[in-house]
Amino acid sequence: MPEPPELLSIGRFARLSGLSVGALRHYDELDLLRPAAVDPGSGYRRYRPDQLQAARTIARLRELEVPLEEIRLVLAEDDPAAGARRLAAHRARVEARTYRLQRVLHHVTQLATGKEPLVSRPPGPPELDLATRRALAVGLFNHVWTLLELPQRTPAQDDEMLHAAHASRYHWGEVGEAVNLARGEWQCSRVYAVLGRAEPALHHARRCVELNLANDARDDWDLASAYEAMARASAVARDAAACAEWRARAEAELASVRDLEDRQIVEQDLATLPT
C-alpha cells in the first residue's frame, strides 16, 4: 500500500505555487483552494503536492486579472476547450477595457497639451444661412405633401414622410414666423393622423390651435384649418363627440374666410374626415 504523500506547510506551498500565505488563507475561506489538512488545535494548514498545479493556475490567472469566480469555473472544467472559451471571453473583456483606456488616454493627452478645452460646449446642429434654412423648410413641407398624396406608400416612405414633416417644422422654428410654425404643426398632425397615431396627432393639432390663437396676424383660414386638424386627430382617437365639436368649430370659422379657394380647401379637408 503506497504511503500518503508528504503534506507541505503553507509557507512552503506558498513559495512553490507563487501565491502568498495571505492569498492561500483567503482562497481557503472562499472555497477556491482548500488545504488538504487543517490542524484542529492550531488551525495550521497543509497542502498536498498535487495541489500545486491548481495553485499555480490560480496565480497565473490572477496575474491576468481573471475574476475569482471565473477562475473557479476554469478549475472546475474537465474539457480544455471549455476552459479556453472562458479565457477567450476574458480576453474580449480586456480588449474592450483597453480600447476605453486608449480613448481616455487620447483625451487626457489632448487636454494636457492644450489641444482640447477642459469643458466644451455640447455639439449643436450645423450653422446654416437663413436662405438655406427657409429653402429646406419649404422643400421638405412640399415633399411631405407629395408623399401624402401617393395612393400607396411603403413603410419606408411612411417613415420618410414623418421625418420630413418634423424636419420642415424644425427649420421653420429657426427662420419662420408664427404662421409658419402653426402650419408646420398642422402638417405634423396630419401625417400622424394618416398613419393612425392618435396621441401625437392630437398633440400637434393642439399646438397648431394654440399658435393660431396667439397670432393675430394669421390668415383668416388658419384657425379653421387648425380646428379641422383637431377634428381629424379626434376621429383617429375614436372620440366621436370631440370630432363633431371640432368640426362644428371649423365650419363656424369658415364663415369668416373671405377667399373662396381658401374656404374650399378647408371644406375639402373636412369632407375627408374619418368616420
* Contact yes or no for 205/185 (Cβ under 8 A): yes
CATH superfamily placement of domain 130-271: Tetratricopeptide repeat domain (1.25.40.10)
Instruction: Check residue 146 and give its pLDDT.
Output: 94
**pLDDT tens by residue, the chain, 275 residues:** 455 668 999 999 999 999 999 999 999 999 999 999 999 888 899 999 999 999 999 999 999 999 989 899 988 888 888 888 888 888 888 888 888 889 888 888 988 888 888 776 666 777 788 899 999 999 999 999 999 999 999 999 999 999 999 999 999 999 999 999 999 999 999 999 999 999 999 999 999 999 999 999 899 999 999 999 999 999 999 999 999 999 999 999 999 999 999 999 999 999 999 87
Domain boundary assignment for the chain: 1-76, 78-118, 130-271
Instruction: Check residue 89 and give its pLDDT.
Output: 87
Dihedral angle computed from the Cα positions of residues 250, 252, 256 and 260, in that order, rounded to the nearest 10 degrees: 70
Q: Which fold has domain 1-76?
A: Multidrug-efflux Transporter Regulator; Chain: A; Domain 2 (1.10.1660)
Instruction: Check residue 127 and give its pLDDT.
Output: 79
pLDDT tens digits, residue range 247-273?
A: 999 999 999 999 999 999 999 999 999
Q: How far apart are CA 165 and CA 167, in angstroms?
A: 5
E strand residue ranges, the chain: 8-9, 37-38, 45-47
